[in-house]
Amino acid sequence: MKSRERVLRALEFDHPDRVPRDLWTLPWAEIHHPKELAAIREDFPVDIINSPVTYSNPPKTEGDPHLKGTFVDEWGCEFLNLQDGVIGEVKRPIVEDWQSA
C-alpha cells in the first residue's frame, strides 16, 4: 500500500495495512547521529510529508530556534537555547502569570 492510500484509509478508519507514520526529529539528531538516523529512516520510511511553507509577509522572529543563544518567536516569547540542534526553554513568556491573562 502506498503512503497516500495508507493515510486516506487511516483518516476514513478503513483498515490501512499499518498506521501511517512520520518521524519528527530535531537537528541535534542529524548533527550527532546522522548514520543511525539514516538507518531508522531507511527501515521506517515516513508516510506523511509537509508542503513547503511560504508567507507573503513572514512572521517577525529574532534568532534561530535551533542554535545556541536567544530566539524570540512571532508571539514575542523569548527562548534560551544552551546547545545547537534543540529547541530552547521559554525564559520570557508573553503571559507572565494567569492574573495578567
Residues of the chain with pLDDT > 90, as a percent, come to 80
**CA-to-CA dists, residue 40 to 24, 26, 101, angstroms:** 12, 14, 43
CB atoms within 10 A of CB 79: 18
Residues 69 and 43 grouped into a single domain: no
DSSP letter at 78 equals E
Which residues form the domain of 44?
1-50
Residues 91 and 65 grouped into a single domain: yes
Q: Is 88 helix (H, G, I), strand (E, B) or coil?
A: coil
Residues 44 and 80 grouped into a single domain: no
Q: Please tell me the pTM assigned to this model.
A: 0.71
All three cell numbers of 4 = 497516500
Task: Write the pLDDT tens digit of every residue in 36-74.
Answer: 999 999 999 999 988 888 888 988 999 999 999 999 999
Residues 33 and 64 grouped into a single domain: no
Residues 37 and 10 grouped into a single domain: yes
What residue type is assigned to position 98 of the chain?
Answer: W
Residues 63 and 46 grouped into a single domain: no
Q: Give the chain's domain count.
A: 2
pLDDT higher than threshold 90 for residue 99: no
Residues 69 and 38 grouped into a single domain: no
